[in-house]
Amino acid sequence: MRVPGTFFLSRRLAEGLEEGALTQLANVATLPGILRCSLGMPDIHWGYGFPIGGVAAFDEEEGVISPGGVGFDINCGVRMITTPLTVTDIPDMKGLIEDLFATVPTGVGSKSPVRLSQNDLSNVLTDGAANAVELGYGMEGDVRRCEENGAMPGAELEFVSKKARARGIPQCGTLGSGNHFLEVQAIDEIPDPATAKTFGVAEGQICVMIHCGSRGLGHQVCTDHLKVLEEAVKKYGIDLPDRQLACAPLHSPEGEAYFGAMAASANYAWANRQIITHLVRELFVKRFGIAYEEMPLVYDVAHNVAKWEEHETADAAAGRRRVCVHRKGATRAFGPGRSEIVQEFRDAGQPVIIPGSMGTSSYLLAGTTTAMERTFGSTCHGAGRVQSRSSAKRSLTGAAVAEDLAKRGIIVRAPNAAAIAEEAPDVYKPSSEVVQVVHDAGISRIVARFRPLGVIKG
Ligand code: 5GP
Ligand code: MN
Ligand code: MN
């Protein structure tokens, strides 16, 4: 290991920790040019190469970029919109969930109502959320409320294969499958009223959370570039403890090609979430007679991405410098004052959206100065899985899980029962505890808590 591994856990979460995830945290610490430490958030669990819940920053000259540190679903992320409604305004939650399920394409191979030409797709890959808004899928203000303003600089379309593009064309504006979801929630606790007011959320308010990424396009980009980077490892003589850490020097042709394709995929994901947001708003307008503008975006965060950012590193003499931060199942949590944060939230710190599960609370947090000092401005991304999909399907049935949730007043809708079993609340760590760990460590602070009312699983 070139640097130590640092993780944030409570005693109880540590007891349930997989050995494999810690080994992966240690493996990441062997990569060339890694700065300060290999970081694990409390939602850490085993992933491809890097652990999910992992953060690693790399030196611009000595460092590497690795698809394993980003994940197959490039710019998987979460956004939240608020509504002017409260629970009593939605007497028929089941009907609303059915309507949402019929409106937002969900599940493997679902197709978007939006028809992109090759040229349209190129614009999406370059301009991200802004392109979707330009096409009419959004409103003034949406883009500024996205991390990176909904489009990362540095997208290079020549490194996105024909196959990736072909997978992307019919899927922009679809939720996807598995862990991805769209959830109707109510705010049931506000530990930080001042920040909640700044972020525009209030107790009792109905909100919608959307979790999805870059669909088949991002997956194909990851697959394509892993092949190239596996060869690059040999070419540059990088000694790896695990083949899944395939990487290349940041400024090598292979490293730059991956970065360019990854940025394009990230932009696709922002457009994807933007189009879904539009579909949801239109449905709410129709169903509840509220105005489109009454459903502003609180924020949109990426939790699978590598980015160039300015940070202070251990050799503080150098001051802030450009480093490449990999967040794989981790969320940027920039503290107050950072110029990357939209003006109206800059003094409060960046809004951080942390989903729990379809049966437990989700949270809105704010980034902190401590995060800037300790975690390259990062925090957890969710509760984190503790039980594999296959094991969940063996021990649970979708019908039993749905019935259990129904007893607690939570409606779940999915393309099939297996999708529900695989995503039962019990397959995740307790979200309250995970969020308490990052709050107590000071790497973000809890602002508001959300109770699930109805959810669509992909
Ligand atoms: P991932 O991106 O790692 O697949 O998932 C992010 C997080 O989303 C998970 O760690 C889990 O805590 C959360 N999550 C998964 N399914 C649901 C759901 O149906 N509703 C909510 N609110 N959170 C979920
Ligand atoms: Mn994803
Ligand atoms: Mn995700």
DSSP secondary structure string, 79-147? EEEEEEEEGGG-S-HHHHHHHHHHHS--STT---SS---HHHHHHHHHHTHHHHHHTTSS-TTTGGGBG
Judged against a pLDDT cut of 80, whether residue 284 lies above it is answered with yes
CA-nearest residue, atom 1 of ligand 1: 179
| Separation between Cα atoms, residue 443 and residue 35, nearest integer Å | 18
H/E element, 354: strand 351-354
Q: What is the mean pLDDT of residues 149-165?
A: 98
What is the Å distance from ligand 1's center to 417 Cα?
A: 17
CA-nearest residue, atom 14 of ligand 1: 357
What own/partner pairs with CB < 8 Å and gap ≥ 24 does 3-6 have?
3/29, 3/34, 3/35, 3/36, 3/37, 3/38, 4/29, 4/37, 4/38, 5/29, 5/37, 5/38, 5/39, 5/40, 6/37, 6/38, 6/39, 6/40
In 3D space, the residue among 334, 281, 294 whose CA is nearest the CA of residue 445 turns out to be: 334
Q: Ligand 1 pocket test: pick from 48, 50, 97, 181 the residue with the most ligand atoms within 8 Å of its Cβ.
A: 181
Looking at the CA of 47, name the nearest ligand. Answer: 1
Q: What sign for the dihedral angle of Cα 370, 372, 376, 378?
A: positive
**3-state secondary structure (DSSP) of residue 265:** helix
**3-state secondary structure (DSSP) of residue 168:** helix
Phi, psi of 249, rounded to the nearest 5 degrees:
-55, 140
At 458 the pLDDT is 87
Q: Are 358 and 410 in contact (CB under 8 A)?
A: yes
| Domain parsing of the chain, residue ranges | 5-386+428-457
What is the Å distance from ligand 3's center to 247 Cα?
A: 22
Q: Ligand 1 pocket test: pick from 44, 80, 179 the residue with the most ligand atoms within 8 Å of its Cβ.
A: 179
CA-nearest residue, atom 16 of ligand 1: 357
Residues in the 5 Å CB sphere of ion ligand 3: 76
pLDDT-derived band of residue 315, with 50, 70 and 90 as boundaries? low
Residues with beta carbon inside 6 Å of ligand 1?
43, 52, 76, 179, 181, 183, 211, 329, 355-358, 362, 381-384, 423, 428, 431, 452, 455, 457
Q: Ligand 1 pocket test: pick from 211, 214, 433 the residue with the most ligand atoms within 8 Å of its Cβ.
A: 211
At 16 the pLDDT is 87
Judged against a pLDDT cut of 80, whether residue 133 lies above it is answered with yes
pLDDT tens, 336-368?
999 999 999 999 999 999 999 999 999 999 999
At 199 the pLDDT is 98
CA-nearest residue, atom 3 of ligand 1: 329
Share of the chain above pLDDT 70, in %: 99
At 314 the pLDDT is 66
What is the Å distance from ligand 1's center to 252 Cα?
A: 35
15-19, 247-251, 301-305, 307-311: lowest mean pLDDT where?
A: 15-19
What is the Å distance from ligand 1's center to 233 Cα?
A: 33
| Separation between Cα atoms, residue 318 and residue 352, nearest integer Å | 29
What is the Å distance from ligand 2's center to 456 Cα?
A: 15
What is the Å distance from ligand 3's center to 302 Cα?
A: 8
In 3D space, the residue among 321, 244, 262 whose CA is nearest the CA of residue 63 turns out to be: 321
At 109 the pLDDT is 82
End-to-end CA distance of the chain: 39
CA-nearest residue, atom 4 of ligand 1: 179
Environment class of 59 (CB within 10 Å of its CB; exposed 0-12, middle 13-18, buried 19+):
middle
Give the nearest ligand 1 atom to 412 CA.
Answer: 19
Looking at the CA of 381, name the nearest ligand. Answer: 1
At 317 the pLDDT is 67
pLDDT-derived band of residue 52, with 50, 70 and 90 as boundaries? very high
At 316 the pLDDT is 59
User: Considering all CA atoms of the chain, what is the largest pairwise distance in Å, rounded to the nearest integer?
Assistant: 63
C-alpha distances (whole Å) from 228 to each of 270, 354, 401 are 26, 33, 42
Bridge partners, 51 (sequence order): none
348 CB neighbour count, 10 Å cutoff: 21
CATH number 3.40.190.10 is the correct assignment for the domain at 5-386+428-457:
no
Q: Ligand 1 pocket test: pick from 175, 219, 304, 357 the residue with the most ligand atoms within 8 Å of its Cβ.
A: 357
DSSP assignment string, 49-91: SSPEEEEEEEETTT-EE-GGGT-SSTT-EEEEEEEEEEGGG-S
What is the Å distance from ligand 1's center to 303 Cα?
A: 11
Output the pTM of the full model.
0.98
Share of the chain above pLDDT 90, in %: 95
Looking at the CA of 380, name the nearest ligand. Answer: 1
Judged against a pLDDT cut of 90, whether residue 107 lies above it is answered with no
Give the nearest ligand 1 atom to 304 CA.
Answer: 2
Catalytic positions, written as ranges: 381
3-state secondary structure 295-324: CCEEEEEECEEEEEEEEECCCHHHCEEEEE
- Mean confidence (pLDDT) of the chain: 96
